[in-house]
Structure 1
């Protein structure tokens, strides 16, 4: 195979809890991850040698600082690949947005290199490699609905969440995950999300049970620093979302709707009011 194309899907966090800060500086988390139908496209092409990254985004590096580059390099070194690769990224997932855009591109690169060079890796192999790049990468390799624990790398696949419509809005700000975790005092968290209850609700196919438990402890940091996040959350509910939440470390906000027409009207209204720079109407996907 000389060329290969793959889609890299974004994620949202239906629930995100931080259990404690670990001695190594990382945080132990417990969260429910969900893939949504917003995706980047990566095109792979075999070359004589080296790694070349190109992209239609002016915001991303194309050198070794890019997670795509790191993933490709990891595969070349691990499997002693003697050829090179050119990878073009068509970017759609919001950047620095709490949707694992970089991690899912890295995960897609692991999958793409596996197919391009016919390496025969299993998903488990790729997930074990992925954690060397970032905590969200193993989940992005797996996708779907999952419980993530540890630093995010301990994954339990869950049954698909019930169908609904997801309105996603990213305001015109970028948030550093590092900043959010550095400013989070895990010992000061007063109320922890009911992640176990959400897992039960997913097993029972209860959308209402999931929505009732949607919480993200990182909002205590990010919303305080960027009030626009709360404004978008409130506006989504006014426009008919059953619940809304910040994804990951933010600043992206998503709202859950049961009726497509209502979700579409809310999309149009948010666009008209210019509360967000990027807006998507999508669904959960496996």
Structure 2
């Protein structure tokens, strides 16, 4: 049996640059891995199948689960037809803009590469991941990166900032497809914010990171889901801190410089929000 961690991510920038001919949108994003993670146990079995169990309710256990899709794709590409029993311990909130499903898929690709000693490079695993979902290639690598195209083109970089992050997930389901479809052309960015964000991260300047933050979907999500906007306003009032959104939401987060400040913020939010997480940037 083998265990692999699947790390959540947040978007520090998300610029929508336009709509592509294939129906997807061109985006430019800075993504950062957090130490909030799922755990995946992988074990061979005699039966020629992928059987999955998960601790979170209401997630699919068939090919609609990206971890299952990753296992099936890996078996097909490697030619290894051994069966796999997969258990997913979910700690990353589901459908939250944190790439939990994509992170699980990436963990399966990395884990099976170790379990079956197939010797694929991370780049080869990321190429496989791009066939499963746009966020999977980033999740294969982890750390920090600029993602472009549909999100599958990854340009990795390093920095030393270890900011603390307090995440809150409102009890609202947000449709990513609906948010993108409702984003108007006048909301598209004329130029990406990623160069500014990368510079701020590499200089270790949290205040400049806060200033460089942008999310071209936030206004649309707030318009379509006013309860998310209302929670963001309440968090801002209670904490006195700027509030950010990851992906298309609904997860909101705060960036804080010290663990003590992050802990106080976490405690304050726990007073009126059930789903709150205290974590930090990690290079993985």
Report if TM-score (shorter chain) is over 0.5: yes
- TM-score normalised by the chain length of structure 2: 0.94
C-alpha displacement of 1:31: 0.7
C-alpha root-mean-square deviation of aligned residues, in Å?
Answer: 1.7
How many pairs align? 282
Match of 1:279 in 2: 276
1:1-286 matches, cutoff 5 A:
3-48=1-46, 49-160=48-159, 162-189=161-188, 194-240=193-239, 242-274=241-273, 277-286=274-283
d(CA) in 1 for partners of 2:240, 2:70: 37
Of 6-15 and 265-274, more deviation after overlay is shown by: 265-274
d(CA) in 2 for partners of 1:161, 1:222: 31
Q: Is the 8 A contact 1:10 1:99 kept in 2?
A: yes
Provide structure 2 residue ranges, at least 5 long, that are not aligned to the other structure. none
d(CA) in 2 for partners of 1:263, 1:228: 24
Q: Is the 8 A contact 2:18 2:188 kept in 1?
A: no
Change (3 A) 1:160 1:239: farther
Q: Is the 8 A contact 1:222 1:250 kept in 2?
A: yes
- TM-score normalised by the chain length of structure 1: 0.93
C-alpha displacement of 1:163: 1.8
Q: Is the 8 A contact 2:221 2:249 kept in 1?
A: yes
Provide structure 1 residue ranges, at least 5 long, that are not aligned to the other structure. none
Q: Is the 8 A contact 2:17 2:188 kept in 1?
A: no
